[in-house]
A and B are shown apart, each in its own frame.
Chain A
Amino acid sequence: MMSCKGLGGEGSAAAALPHVLAVDDSSVDRAVISGILRSSKFRVTAVDSGKRALELLGSEANVSMIITDYWMPEMTGYELLKKVKESSKLKGIPVVIMSSENVPTRISRCLEEGAEDFLLKPVQPSDVSRLCNRVLR
């Protein structure tokens, strides 16, 4: 893995880090998950809807993982997951779902649809470390 120290400044160092797309309609949760991901040394882009996530995925080639809230207006995290997995271009990107509610049928539905994992909120740094070690390394 390329060292990030002393190579061409901040831009190239940031580009060397895995890029995670965080999707959540709550500004608080976006801030928290972004903070956790950054502290785990990931580059993060946070958006507030599934629609914006798909727009970004269409233009940004370098997303290593998507972590999305389940309950969002207009497009749920499950619907976003489905669209990602139906796309030949995007289906290889691991998708993780987050929810504040522990609903077994919801969890199994997401996992059956191809989600890598289902995290209960509030998400902890240890959840992200464990997950990213498994999915991204």
Chain B
Amino acid sequence: MEYANLRRQAASLKRSLFDQGYLDEQFCQVEDLQDEASPNFAEEVVSLFFKDSARLVANIEQAMEKYPGDFNRWDAHMQQLKGSCFSIGASKMSNECTSFRNSCAEENAEGCRRSFQKVKREHAILRQKLESYFQLLRQAGPARTATRSGGK
């Protein structure tokens, strides 16, 4: 019963992440790669994403401080972050990365700063929501398949 309840909560949280635009179909593609050999594949990939993206966000912050007005450099760093967002289906964050890159193309430093704050905010929100999601899945335990007792 508890397992079913936790699974329902996880499913509901995931649905809300899609409904609110935090995630897109690519996230399902990543989850679909899970199998018996890699039962925690999605969580591992997401964990890699947050480790990598934290580093990339720090790189961008540093680049904006050390190289003011070097829009090419800022853009190159953000391109990497956007690519990672694409790969796990982090659509809201990806959209903010695009806004930043658009500001770079316009050489709009203030626009870049505003977009970058939004990137960081979306990053923090997504991390918290996905941590909750995977925590629910871990508490629920591995998916159980229905068994027939004493059957034909």
Contact = CB atoms under 8 A, between A and B. Distances in A.
A17 to B, nearest CB: 13
Interface in B10-42: 26, 29-30, 32-33, 35, 37-38, 41
Interface residues of A, number: 16
B29 A31 contact: no
Interface stretch (B58-66, B75-83, B125-133): B75-83
Given A100-B82, A100-B86, A121-B83, A36 B48 contact: no
Contacts of A125: 29, 32-33
Nearest to A101: B79
Contacts of A39: 33, 35
Interface string B34-59: 01011001001100110110000000
B125 to A, nearest CB: 19
Contacts of B48: 27-28, 31
A122 B29 contact: yes
B102 interface: no
B27 to A, nearest CB: 10
B29 A28 contact: no
A135 B33 CA distance: 22
A12 interface: no
A27 B81 CA distance: 12
* Residue in A27, A35, A100, A124 with the greatest tally of chain B CB atoms within 10 Å: A35
Contact of B45 (A31, A38, A71, A124): A31
Q: Which 6 A-B pairs have the closest CB atoms?
A: A35-B33, A100-B83, A28-B84, A28-B49, A31-B45, A28-B87
10 contacts: A26-B52, A27-B51, A28-B84, A31-B48, A32-B33, A32-B88, A35-B41, A100-B79, A121-B83, A122-B29
Interface of A: 26-29, 31-32, 35-36, 38-39, 71, 100, 121-122, 124-125
